[in-house]
């Protein structure tokens, strides 16, 4: 278990600009409360579009209600060619790294990694999917598709998700530093460690 308070000195070091960049990123992207005029970005493999929250029936800042939610889900499900397990297997092969390098960097055990790869329909936790995206060093777009294959998304209404998105967009693949930042912003760390 890492001592976040001790490691946070890295974040508070004036020579380290990650905290300042993260503060600016959150100020620009984090949405605390959705209103009827808030634009929600709906993204699929075909592209993305911004739609007024009132037009699609938002619930707070988190989701969709009614028929549109079902239609969007059906379209995203139809667009998905690979399961999470299949995508993980392909991405590991493309990386040229051994399985052990990936699951060690993701800080998950061999048994869980094996379960995910051997069960085509395995549903990982969001933390596991994020940790694997970081371990695979996926760019932001690939990471979003990877998370979507597991049934997850990074939302602007969650500070935790925005911190994770910041790390992916800036190609910072250090899970310990991510946990330090999550702790610093009083968000749950990956795997609750």
pLDDT at 32: 65
Residue 11 lies in a domain: no
Instruction: Compute CA distances 17 → 11, 22, 23, 24, whole Å.
Output: 8, 8, 10, 11
Angle value at C-alpha 141, between 123 and 77, nearest 5 degrees: 45
pLDDT at 184: 93
Is the distance from CB of 85 to CB of 120 less than 8 angstroms?
Answer: yes
Residue 4 lies in a domain: no
pLDDT at 90: 95
Residue 128 lies in a domain: yes
Residue 12 lies in a domain: no
The tokens for 28 are 């620009």
The pairs formed by 143-152 with CB atoms below 8 angstroms and a separation of 24 or more are 143/168, 144/43, 145/45, 145/87, 146/84, 146/87, 146/88, 146/91, 148/76, 148/80, 149/80, 149/82, 149/83, 149/84, 149/87, 150/84, 150/123, 150/124, 150/126, 151/84, 151/123, 152/126
Instruction: Compute CA distances 172 → 63, 78, 88, 122, 176, whole Å.
Output: 28, 32, 20, 27, 11
Instruction: Compute CA distances 40 → 27, 60, 97, 108, 166, whole Å.
Output: 17, 11, 37, 33, 19
Is the distance from CB of 148 to CB of 124 less than 8 angstroms?
Answer: no
Residue 2 lies in a domain: no
pLDDT at 48: 60
pLDDT at 191: 86
| b/e per residue 130-161 (b: at least 16 CB within 10 A) | bbbbbbbbbebebbbbbbbbbebebbbbbbbb
Q: Which domain holds residue 60?
A: 18-192
Residue 174 lies in a domain: yes
Domain count along the chain: 1
Residue 144 lies in a domain: yes
pTM of the model: 0.68
CA 191 to chain centroid: 13
- The tens-digit pLDDT sequence of the chain (193 residues) is 333 444 555 555 655 688 888 888 888 877 765 554 555 555 555 556 555 555 444 544 444 444 555 555 555 555 457 899 999 999 999 999 999 999 999 999 999 999 999 999 999 999 999 999 999 999 999 999 999 999 999 998 999 999 999 999 999 999 999 999 999 999 999 987 5
Residue 68 lies in a domain: yes
């Amino acid at each position: 278990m890492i001592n976040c308070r001790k490691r946070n000195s890295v974040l508070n070091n004036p020579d380290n600009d990650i905290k300042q960049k993260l503060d600016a990123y959150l100020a620009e992207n984090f949405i605390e409360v959705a209103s009827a005029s808030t634009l929600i970005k709906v993204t699929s493999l075909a592209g993305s579009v911004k739609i007024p929250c009132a037009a699609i029936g938002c619930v707070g800042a988190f989701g969709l209600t009614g028929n549109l939610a079902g239609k969007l889900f059906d379209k995203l499900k139809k667009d998905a060619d690979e399961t999470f397990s299949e995508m993980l297997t392909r991405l590991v092969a493309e990386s040229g790294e051994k399985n052990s390098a990936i699951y060690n960097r993701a800080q998950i055990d061999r048994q869980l990694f094996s379960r995910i790869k051997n069960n085509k329909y395995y549903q990982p936790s969001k933390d596991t999917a994020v940790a694997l995206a970081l371990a695979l060093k996926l760019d932001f777009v690939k990471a979003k598709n990877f998370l979507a294959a597991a049934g997850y998304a990074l939302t602007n209404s969650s500070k935790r998700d925005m911190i994770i998105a910041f790390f992916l967009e800036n190609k910072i693949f250090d899970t310990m530093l991510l946990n330090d930042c999550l702790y610093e912003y009083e968000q749950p760390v990956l795997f609750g460690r």
